[in-house]
Amino acid sequence: MTVPIPPPPSQGASGRNKAALWSGVGLVVALAAGGTLLFRAGRATSHDGHEAGEHAHRDEPSKAPRAAKPAAPMEVLRHTDRAARAAATGDLKKARESLGEALMLAPQHAPALLVHACLALEEGNDAEVTTVLAQLTAAAPGSREVKLLETLRELRRAPGVSWQQGFRQAWVKLGRPDFRKSELLPGATPLPPDPTLADWEKGAWEKATSDDVKLRLALSTRRLDADKALFLLAQVPRLENPDLYLAVRDALRGESLPESEHERARKTFREKLEALAKAHPNAMQLQLLLLLGDTESGTELTAAEIDALERVAALPAWRETSFREGYVATRQLLKEAGVPDASALSMAVALRGINERGTWILRTRNVATRGSLSEEGRKRLGRITRDIGASMVKQTTVVERMTGLQLVRGGNTDMGDEAGRTLTLNQIQALEQTIGQFQQTAMERWPLNSLTEELMEESTQDELGYLRSFAAAAPTGTAARVGP
């Protein structure tokens, strides 16, 4: 028996997996970068059977200088990791406690000193910042991380300069250093799972004040156990928000549910999808999922399905929900319930809500179909695919935008529109370059809660605009603008 929600095709390491290397509670800030972490810079991923062409190339290794990897006992690394997580999530008291343990064992441990400097900077303790940065400079001479913190402190002294503005200006001033392989920032050394994280998740679940809170906690959990999976399945009939429905579908992919529940899950999801599609007749996302979501990938489209796809492609909007509004609503609910790290947990839930299966099925079935079509039939299917993709490109998240561009590219290819295909390839490359520049900041690894909160606030309003702000002054020859 197959699982009720088959997993989507591999897209490389997801942002959630990367974040989990060091962040635990709420997956912390890496999720805040939204779709950016789902696409590795320099890779024009293709899922529609067409080659990415001249713009497909391998990731280039970072040329940024790397500090010497600090040698430290596991106990020191663990305390430092806990301090960094607590600092990133705004629990400064707990961060101080864990940091004290780390520095008591290893007073010159540079990664711990970096966390210490970030804590002092967060609290506005200028004298402490000066002292700790001097210690960090001695422990890691020439470190670009230290230079960035020093510059950030100076810029933040000016009235009205936000954390994001200060960080961005400091990073640009230093020449856009690549921090992805930093040995000072949290996450440099992969550690075994921290048992305190499981305790935290258990405590949060037990203290949850309603099923609505439990629903969000389950959707944001690191590992979904059988009890939480069954709880999520039980919530499906009452869900009226399409994004929450899609989030639960995503969470229950793979082996989360016992095999004995697979048939019930298929029936439950189908019935709810039919109800949601009826309630949102103009939402392309739901209508596409209703049409193709339960069909076999890689099989030839029937004439009736192509006719139905043409009607779907003519709908006015990809979806009728707002990524930003969903994030804000979940954050408010969790904050009112007293759940710590509400922003990052809310981001995790929101990101699940844009994972959808319909476009992947469409691409695989296009591959199986185009060879049996006449030239006019291929052009028709290409127009359908292009129009669906163009609707996705209008969304505010990079995940949807990139998926949409891939569909547009495939559609243009089937239509024989070489100019359109080339334009879309250039747009994909420009978007990847924008993502790649932002990734060099390693924003998800800096243990500054205010920076994290502003990141999520700005990126949920306009993720692409936020990313472009880091690429706005890119060197000549680097594409920083992506067309609609």
> Average of pLDDT values for 175-188?
96
Residues of the chain with pLDDT > 70, as a percent, come to: 83
pLDDT attached to residue 418: 98
**pLDDT (tens digit per residue) in 146-164:** 999 999 999 999 999 999 9
Q: Which CATH number fits domain 74-173: 1.10.3470, 3.40.1710, 1.25.40, 1.10.10?
A: 1.25.40
- pLDDT value for 58: 36
Q: CA 162, CA 310: separation in Å to the nearest integer?
A: 47
Residue 40, pLDDT > 60, answer no
Domain chopping of the chain, boundaries: 74-173
**In the numeric block, which tokens belong to residue 44?**
């024009």
Reduce the DSSP state of residue 283 to 3 states and report it. strand
To which residue do tokens 């600090």 refer? 70
Residue 5 has pLDDT above 50, yes or no: no
As a whole-number percent, the residues of the chain with pLDDT over 90 amount to 77
pLDDT at 133: 98
With 80 as the cut, is the pLDDT of residue 35 above it?
A: no
- The predicted model scores a pTM of 0.84
Q: pLDDT value at position 237?
A: 98
HSE at residue 468, side-chain half, CA atoms within 13 A, is 14
Looking at residue 201, its pLDDT comes to: 86
From the number of C-beta atoms within 10 Å of its C-beta (0-12, 13-18, 19+), residue 314 rates as exposed
Q: Radius of gyration over alpha carbons of the chain, in Å?
A: 23
For the cut 90, the answer to whether the pLDDT of residue 36 exceeds it is no
Buried/exposed 192-212: b ≥16 CB within 10 Å, e otherwise:
eebeebeebbeebbeebeeeb
Helix (H) or strand (E) holding 242: helix 242-251
